[in-house]
Chain A
Amino acid sequence: MADEQVGDVTAKAASGDRDAFAALIRRNQAMVYSLAWHSLGDEGLAEELSQDVFLELHRALPGLESEAHVTNWLRRVTMHRCIDQARRRKSRPQVALDDVSEPAAESAGNPDFYLRSRLQTLIGSMPERARSVLLLRYQEDMEPTEIAGVLGLPVNTVKSQLHRSLAMLRDKLQRTRVTA
């Protein structure tokens, strides 16, 4: 029944029903916005990019048949736009992962905030593709085969990228945990 309603919403949105399209946006906005926010590290840019993605979805809706199709389409378009945007953004500070300094000791008062903010800094300093793989794996809980489909990469590349990225993060995070 729920799938029927979802499919119904997608079809209605494709036929120009604004309420149905608004429902589709609300259902997927956290996913799209979070991918953009974690990729770009900037609220304004993430908001703008997310809006652009949904406007593009509105044009692409007649070719999308199901909610799963819509979700997959949104992940793929968002990630590719994020990668393009990050490459274009020369102003984004390009910090080597090993050069990211340890945070100040006063953050130890709030370990959750400390770890999340540290993690975001570390992920933000990674190359676009490595960051995209990590986001799809841990924000979207996707398997390497699904990530490969979204990013258009071989599965083995995704696996090795994931392995390398985790090794780098592990090293930094262990140091963070020791200082916290």
Chain B
Amino acid sequence: MNEFQREEELLRQGLRRREPRDGFANRVLARLDEPKRSAPVAQASWWSWIMAPAMAAVLIAVLGLGALQYQRVGRERQQRAKAEQALGQFARAMEITASKLELAQTRVFRTRGQQ
């Protein structure tokens, strides 16, 4: 046997076949059965067809209530803003009135003084 043949023999020995762990065929066959075992998943999806509309109804109700609440809060905010604006206008009117009254009073006192 020459050097090259010895190397080839060494490679054949090093790369010789080895068996997988015991029960390999059974593990493959078990995986073949996996789709059949997934039946409970199909049943769960059947329930989900009933649950889905109920969940959707709950979701719509929650969203609707949320929208109503949002509108109510918005209206209250608008009313409060209008009230604050009216209060401001009232205060401004009072200031103007007060200044006019003060002016009128000053003129009255001045007229009396001249008499």
Contacts and interface: CB of A to CB of B under 8 A. Distances in A.
Interface of A: 18, 21-22, 25-26, 29-31, 33-34, 37-38, 46-47, 50-51, 54-55, 58, 112, 115-116, 119-120, 123, 134-135, 137-139, 141, 166, 169-170, 173
Q: How large, as a class, is the contact surface on chain B?
A: 20 to 34
Closest 6 CB pairs of A and B: A119-B14, A25-B25, A138-B11, A33-B20, A139-B15, A34-B17
Contact of B17 (A25, A46, A55, A139): A139
A47 B31 CA distance: 13
Given A22-B29, A116-B13, A138-B11, A34 B24 contact: no
A51 B10 contact: no
B21 A47 contact: yes
B92 to A, nearest CB: 74
A21 B26 CA distance: 11
A120 B11 CA distance: 10
Contact of A22 (B8, B14, B18, B25): B25
Given A29-B19, A47-B24, A115 B14 contact: yes
B39 to A, nearest CB: 19
Contacts, number: 81
Contacts of B26: 22
Given A30-B18, A51-B31, A138 B8 contact: yes
B12 interface: yes
A139 B14 CA distance: 8
Given A134-B11, A173-B10, A139 B28 contact: no
A50 B24 CA distance: 9
A169 B14 CA distance: 12
Contacts of B31: 51, 55
B1 to A, nearest CB: 15
Nearest to A137: B11
B37 interface: no
7 contacts: A25-B24, A25-B28, A33-B18, A33-B19, A38-B15, A50-B20, A115-B13
Contacts of A37: 18
Nearest to A170: B7
